[in-house]
Structure 1
Amino acid sequence: MKTLFLLIGYALLQCQTQAQVYKQDNRLAHTFSIVARDSATGELGVAVESHWFSVGTAVSWAEAGVGAIATQSFTNKSFGIRGLELLKSGLTAQQALDKLLSDDEGREVRQVAIVDTKGNVATHTGKNCIQYATHIQGSSYSVQSNMMLTPNVSKAMSASIESTKGKSLGERLLLALEAAQKAGGDIRGQQSAALLVVPGKSEGKTWDERTVDLRVDDNPQPIKELRRLYSVHQAYQHMNNGDLAVEKNDMTTAMNEYNAAMKMFPQNLEMQYWTAITLANNKQVEKAIPMLKKIYAKDRNWQELTRRLPKVNLLTVSQAELQRLLNP
């Protein structure tokens, strides 16, 4: 009898394991996603959401000048890496997908989408993906979903991407995720999301060729959090543009960029601080002083940082001006 109970327990454990994993390295990622190419900029991107932890580490793959891939349902991560390699070898999106599926024993539980640098798309939804499981292809994009609450999720993503032409690719992908969630989303709810955008051409700097790379690994409202992070990302892009303008001694552009960042996040002390420092370096100490006074009142560490900047030439003012900036 004890042996019988052990056998039953083992069988139940096996069933539970197989319900979550097709193979040990093929994790469950029932989800909705979109892959797309921006016809104006050539950028390539993929966005995804799922009721599963850290979906962005398994589903979304992209490389500058190569393509973007989403591999989901029972996820085969190798499809991401191998798919990009196949695209780099000269295969089209469809040829790459055909090659990936040709020897895949789990093809009927896979859902895969690929877009290449020419805007060609290829999509596969296995017949054993859990309903509602659908995909829709359009000009330079593919939307796909499985285990959805309603049959309208892919339709909502498609309608969104079609109606947002002219916006940045990152924004369009995020809007598509938001539309999908409004249409019902994952039948299990929400947990994680990711947004990845890369340039249409590579400059050979793979370490610096991700225009947008954001992930929400575990959150009750991951798309809402992804939207917040995307806004932060945009604000810091303005800060980066301001820094580049300073390097070129283009102070007008620098201040415009810094001000744009501050308007997006007026409570961010760092954005305020570097704007004030730029003003001081641009011989506008009188404007910098009241800004620094407010910053120091909230956190005195910024005052100590100001003291350290002249040594590394990040603050180029006279000694008398430095004392005024340190003690506003």
Structure 2
Amino acid sequence: MKKALAFITFLYFTSNTFAQFSKNSEPFAHTFSIVARDTKTGEMAVGVQSHWFSVGTAVSWGQAGVGVVATQSFVNKSFGVRGLALMKNGKTAQETMDILLSNDGGKEVRQVGIIDAKGNVAVHTGKNCVDFAGHIKGANYSVQSNMMLNNKVPAAMAKAFEENWRLPLAERVLKALEAGQAVGGDIRGKQSAALLVVKGTSTNKPWDDDHLVDLRVDDHQAPLVELARLLKIKRAYNHMDAGDLATETNNMKKAMDEYNAAMKLFPNNLEMQYWTAITMANNKSIIKASEILHKIYLKEPNWREMTKRLPKAGLLQVSDLDFKELTR
């Protein structure tokens, strides 16, 4: 009888305790991550990899001029939204952490990293997070991991982040993630990854500055490899955007420098080649533009039809003779 009562009590306790932190709105995200701030630019970032589908939709949260949050293990997504709101209202990273955990019945299975816009860092690893679990708090960063193959992940991530200080923040965070994976990573393997970077100050235009980088690999055999590829493409398109802005101010040297930088990063992208050629054509470099365009047409004839549609939209302004050359 006593054994039966003990068993019933155990079931009641564990089911109710588990219900406190395992709800449909609180997914598992056993993982390793980094929250970090660049002291030169003020940019803040979250990088994460996990053997879980679409980890970036649960773990990584950020807002320009406010801070970033990584919430993982048994994820409490509200920590992302509420954490950013608290920091926006003036709370430090540690004050925010204390408030979030103060009434959280599942705090011992939570793992959270927070950085505010002033560089204050807070990190928490609940005592019941699955081994190997731990964190390292450094200057303007913290790394945190749970359910790792071994206990080497946080140290490897911290070392990589500190050693690559010359890199832009996004690339630096990626190096930290790669280092964590290189020493073992998640005991279950790998499936998804994400990288989020926001500005250190807000222009009150979230459509412009909240997400400088927002990349997610939801399901992939090598998510960090794919994430690195996407980041490289992102950098290439940043150069394209800069080239377009230079064109608007008629700074053609800068425009061509930016377009060339983009094509070096992503040499096989036909669209980058195409708009570079159109810019050349609009600035009277018809022969060079024609050479590039006709190579593109051989690979994909639809680009010729695209060129024919540009004059109506005002995107190609050349003489009739030059237009025939560009579309022949």
TM-score (norm 2): 0.93
Percent identical among aligned pairs is 61
Show CA shifts across 1:208-232 (max 9, x none): 2211000000001101100110111
Measured in 2, the distance between the counterparts of 1:266 and 1:118 equals 39
The runs of 5 or more residues in structure 2 that have no matched partner are 1-10
- Please list, as runs of the form range in 1=range in 2, the aligned pairs for 1:116-131 lying within 5 A after superposition: 116-131=116-131
**2:110 is the counterpart of 1:110:** yes
Measured in 1, the distance between the counterparts of 2:208 and 2:294 equals 36
Measured in 1, the distance between the counterparts of 2:24 and 2:102 equals 20
Equivalent position of 1:223 in the other structure: 224
Structure 2 residue identity aligned to 1:65 = G
Show CA shifts across 1:156-181 (max 9, x none): 11001111112100000011110000
Measured in 1, the distance between the counterparts of 2:221 and 2:292 equals 37
- Please list, as runs of the form range in 1=range in 2, the aligned pairs for 1:26-105 lying within 5 A after superposition: 26-105=26-105
1:120, distance to aligned residue in structure 2 (A): 0.4
Measured in 1, the distance between the counterparts of 2:308 and 2:60 equals 44
Question: In terms of mean alpha carbon deviation, does 204-213 or 222-231 score higher?
Answer: 204-213
Structure 1 residue identity aligned to 2:144 = Q
Equivalent position of 2:187 in the other structure: 187
**2:316 is the counterpart of 1:315:** yes
**2:155 is the counterpart of 1:165:** no
Measured in 1, the distance between the counterparts of 2:23 and 2:286 equals 64
Measured in 2, the distance between the counterparts of 1:314 and 1:23 equals 52
- Report SS of the residue matched to 1:39: coil
Measured in 2, the distance between the counterparts of 1:286 and 1:25 equals 59
- Report SS of the residue matched to 1:53: coil
Measured in 1, the distance between the counterparts of 2:38 and 2:122 equals 16
Structure 2 residue identity aligned to 1:263 = K
Equivalent position of 1:293 in the other structure: 294
Measured in 1, the distance between the counterparts of 2:24 and 2:212 equals 33
Equivalent position of 1:203 in the other structure: 203
Structure 2 residue identity aligned to 1:267 = N
Equivalent position of 1:269 in the other structure: 270
Structure 2 residue identity aligned to 1:97 = M
Equivalent position of 2:178 in the other structure: 178
1:54, distance to aligned residue in structure 2 (A): 0.3
1:183, distance to aligned residue in structure 2 (A): 1.0
Equivalent position of 1:4 in the other structure: none
Question: In terms of mean alpha carbon deviation, does 254-263 or 185-194 score higher?
Answer: 254-263
Measured in 1, the distance between the counterparts of 2:43 and 2:267 equals 30
- Report SS of the residue matched to 2:22: strand
- Report SS of the residue matched to 2:304: helix
Measured in 1, the distance between the counterparts of 2:208 and 2:110 equals 31
- Report SS of the residue matched to 1:33: strand
1:113, distance to aligned residue in structure 2 (A): 0.6
Measured in 2, the distance between the counterparts of 1:296 and 1:93 equals 54
Alignment coverage as a number of residue pairs: 312
Measured in 2, the distance between the counterparts of 1:228 and 1:295 equals 23
1:57, distance to aligned residue in structure 2 (A): 0.2
Measured in 2, the distance between the counterparts of 1:140 and 1:201 equals 16
1:265, distance to aligned residue in structure 2 (A): 1.6
1:23, distance to aligned residue in structure 2 (A): 2.6
Measured in 1, the distance between the counterparts of 2:110 and 2:56 equals 17
1:44, distance to aligned residue in structure 2 (A): 0.6
Structure 2 residue identity aligned to 1:303 = R
**2:326 is the counterpart of 1:325:** yes
Measured in 1, the distance between the counterparts of 2:73 and 2:263 equals 41
- Report SS of the residue matched to 1:278: helix
Superposed CA RMSD: 1.4
Measured in 1, the distance between the counterparts of 2:260 and 2:305 equals 24
The runs of 5 or more residues in structure 1 that have no matched partner are 1-10
Measured in 1, the distance between the counterparts of 2:298 and 2:48 equals 42
Measured in 2, the distance between the counterparts of 1:25 and 1:202 equals 30
Measured in 1, the distance between the counterparts of 2:287 and 2:25 equals 61
Show CA shifts across 1:25-74 (max 9, x none): 22110000000110000001100000000000000000000001000000
